[in-house]
Amino acid sequence: MTILSNGHQWKYSEFIDNKNYSFDKDKILKSISKDDIDDAYNIISKWEGYSPTPLLSLNKLSKELNLKNIFYKDENKRFDLKSFKALGGAYAVEKVTKGNKDIVVATATAGNHGRSVAWGARRLGLKCKIFISEFVSEARGQAMSDLGADVIKVKGNYEQSLIECIKQSTENNWQIVQDVAWKDYMVVPKYTMAGYSVMMREIIDQINNEKITHVILQAGVGGMAGAMVSGIARYLDNVPVTIVVEPDSAACVLESIKTGKIEKIDIKRESLMGGMSCGEVSLVPWEILKNSVKHCISLPDDDIAKTMRLLGNSTFSEHRIIAGENSAPGVIGLIASYEDQIIKQKLQLDENSNILIIGCEGDTDKEMYQKLINQ
């Protein structure tokens, strides 16, 4: 198949430059320190069952786009949780409980973060309370029950589930392990991000001395993107072009980068990219991202199912890649940028480009995955 056969087939909604861009490694490493990053790798790499996830080459796509390499970090292979999220919540559980077996951990979640916390609690033999909104699917709730967590359904949306989590945790002296930061709650979200940065450490061991020139990072509340930028500051000698990609219905990083301050989005329509459908960038990542993201791009849902299918049927590479809804936007962001001559030139996408894309998750929701690839 010729991927670009009809030209301009891959849609983006908005592309912006960050007028406050200035990538300052020392400043970034003040938010998440070198020690935080190294600690996370030293601890997580000793967990039972740990092995680095593969860095695959989308060699058919890079040939078609005349780029040197497109590297795809395949988080479908992350422990048995099939998502980079496994590195964050579970690591934070270990850090906050410090070997104390009597602590009960609690979190509010839309799915994958809670799964990581539940899994981390089970690893350490701890009790775990997970608060989910009434809109979280039965399958996602069940997955966390299966990991031994007590799953509590709350009427209303995610915010309501978080309010209930904080209320019950305060009453019962449970330890909250949240991935989102707010004023006075920064330490635990930093642990989750330090955990995510393990991906970057693995990548530098996997790129065979190639120099990464561009990184495309999906963002929900910005934790993963911020963590990867910290990893870049910690591990890379060069500074690649950093591009954040978001659903156009929830482009909270893009809107905040535009004005230089945190902007809250009123989400009118939930994106297919569920994990990225977040209305407000979290405080810790914002401190990192506000100056170190060079460009932002937002996407409609239109090409998600197609991209998942093309990754799955080895159109883009030699591999059949199981990529969930939140893994597709990195690839779409790249192709849509390539098809637009102005953006392509601005990003200097050419035969010397080594692009890094994060395949954040596999089929974490099997039913949804099957439905989308069969569309």
Residues near ligand PLP, by CB under 6 A: 83, 85, 112, 218-225, 275-276, 278, 326, 360-361
- By beta-carbon proximity to ligand PLP, the closer residue of 240 and 330 is 330
- By beta-carbon proximity to ligand PLP, the closer residue of 73 and 294 is 73
Residue 358 contacts residue 70 (beta carbons within 8 Å):
no
- By beta-carbon proximity to ligand PLP, the closer residue of 28 and 276 is 276
- By beta-carbon proximity to ligand PLP, the closer residue of 64 and 240 is 240
Q: Smallest distance from the beta carbon of 110 to ligand PLP, in angstroms?
A: 8
Could you write out the DSSP letters of every residue in 135-157? TS-HHHHHHHHHTT-EEEEESS-
Distance of CA 150 to the CA centre of its chain: 25
Measured CA to CA, the distance from residue 174 to residue 374 in angstroms comes to: 43
Residue nearest to ligand PLP (CB): 275
Q: Smallest distance from the beta carbon of 178 to ligand PLP, in angstroms?
A: 11
Q: Smallest distance from the beta carbon of 360 to ligand PLP, in angstroms?
A: 3
Q: Smallest distance from the beta carbon of 190 to ligand PLP, in angstroms?
A: 12
- By beta-carbon proximity to ligand PLP, the closer residue of 64 and 116 is 116
Q: What are phi and psi of 218, to 5 degrees?
A: -70, 150
- State both tokens at 261: 């301050």
Q: Smallest distance from the beta carbon of 84 to ligand PLP, in angstroms?
A: 7
Measured CA to CA, the distance from residue 369 to residue 254 in angstroms comes to: 27
Measured CA to CA, the distance from residue 267 to residue 66 in angstroms comes to: 37
- Please state whether beta strands 175-176 and 14-17 pair in parallel, antiparallel, or not at all (unpaired): unpaired
- By beta-carbon proximity to ligand PLP, the closer residue of 64 and 215 is 215
Q: Which residues contact 75 (CB under 8 A, 6 or more apart)?
A: 53, 82, 83, 84, 199, 327, 358, 359, 360, 361, 362
Q: Smallest distance from the beta carbon of 252 to ligand PLP, in angstroms?
A: 9
Q: What is the DSSP letter of 19?
A: T
- By beta-carbon proximity to ligand PLP, the closer residue of 64 and 308 is 308
SS3 85: helix
Q: Smallest distance from the beta carbon of 20 to ligand PLP, in angstroms?
A: 20
Measured CA to CA, the distance from residue 223 to residue 360 in angstroms comes to: 12
